[in-house]
Structure 1
Amino acid sequence: MLAREGKVYVTATDVLADVEQRVPPTARAKVLSSPETVSRMAATLLVRRVLAAEAEKAGLQADPKVAAALQNARDKILFDALLERGDADVQPGERALDDYARSQYQADAKSYAVPAQVRARHILVRGSDEQARTKAQKLLQEVRAGANFAELAQKNSDDPGSAQKGGDLGFFAPGKMVKPFDDAVEALKNPGDVSGLVETEFGLHIIQLEERRPASKRPYEEVREQLMASALKKLQLEHRQRRTGPVLEQAIIEQDAVARFVAAQQEPAPIPNK
């Protein structure tokens, strides 16, 4: 027993059931490891149970809408429990899941393709007037004379995001930068090559190529767990569809009754007498 008020009480099973209904599986351990959270949940359940008993004594369960809501809640809980039991039965061995995941990996190669990428540094001088060009040209001469590019970028670049990293922009795929910048990077062939002044909407750039990575494919081992989880979810979904599908096929929806119901919801509410 976790909480009580008179003859009404809340147990650990009550809290576990509430957690399974409302909390995602990935967050349950954290919720259940906190005494404050568990105490708060137990108190909430206790208040709800005490007042629900009062409502029942008052006969509120006889109200058609309340009765329907109670039936719907019961149906949903039993429906979920049945399907979750079926999910537990669908547990292929790791070997079978791995084989299925590997076949998906091979069949859907495009999803795991990694485009060619480049890594570059740059020094940005904001503006394009004579003063900006003079400054940028001087920095370019220093780079070509053998000055350390990263140090120059750190001290002089007007791009605060990359300046503190020595102008390093990291890896990026073609088309990710503005076109003049992209074209200038594409023209650089070997690591260490430096561009001339490149003008973009942001100002004047000096670019140094660091590295090129060819197009590749994410290795299977990197996506294996994700694919196996997806495979299991797919198998469980298929199992659920096998349980619900026949019911839906046999179901008869009374469209005339549906139309009358919808029309009734659209009728204006009567104006109460003053």
Structure 2
Amino acid sequence: MKKKLSVVARAALLATSVSLLSPLAAQAQNITTVNGKPVPQSRADVLLQQATRQGQQPRTPELEAQVRDEVVLREMFVQEAVKRGLSTTKEYRDQIELARQGILIRELFTDFQKKNPVTDADIQAEYDKFKAQAGGSEYRARHILVEKEDEAKDIIAKLKGGAKFEDLAKKLSKDPGSGANGGDLDWANPNSYVPEFSAALTKLKKGETTQEPVKSQFGYHVIKLEDTRESQPPSLEEVKPQIQQRLNQIKLTEFRDQIKAKSKTDYKFQTN
């Protein structure tokens, strides 16, 4: 009889312990209650993740306290808004739908990027293409831009008479970017200029000036070649973040286009 009572007593004690612990466990999952309604810790966790994503903000005890305060305040304000019937208005429902769509779209693209990451091989291949395009010679040139051919011819005559190129550029050039610097265009690949300018520039030898005005869409140029050198493209490590970002964007754009292409609608997009 004693053994039976002992077993029953232990079972009762265990049940009592579990029932006492259950509220404590539930309480640990909540920050507090507001007017009897629990405020779950998971809300604060989500806000903390957003605040500290990609190292934008360090996770500190002060930040955690601020987030908890924010979550509890939100619950207070939401309860008041519901009391006033604001959760039943059309404006509220429309905004909720837009918010729902925004969250789902963000999750869609995030999921795609996780499953289709840009690999090191992708980055290397893109860098190799960039390096090939940036290869070759770079030219350091000066130019003087004027509106009329006669003005350009007059400048060439003055240069032949001993005038300094830099002085004439500062005084006469219509190019606001280089004129103040004596016409200096710094180092650049000739392909970065308009074709007429590039063709004239690459025919010059170091120190030479064009003997005829060079016409382009901007006006008439007098060009001087200061020097040439082999191009020095940046290293892979220097441009890796930009390449990765660009390839990610390309993948996302292709993914969006695929979804658009397979979706059935008679709507005509006004912009692409």
Query: What TM-score comes out, normalization by structure 2 length?
Result: 0.49
Look at both structures and tell me which one has the larger radius of gyration over its CA atoms.
Answer: 2
Query: What TM-score comes out, normalization by structure 1 length?
Result: 0.49
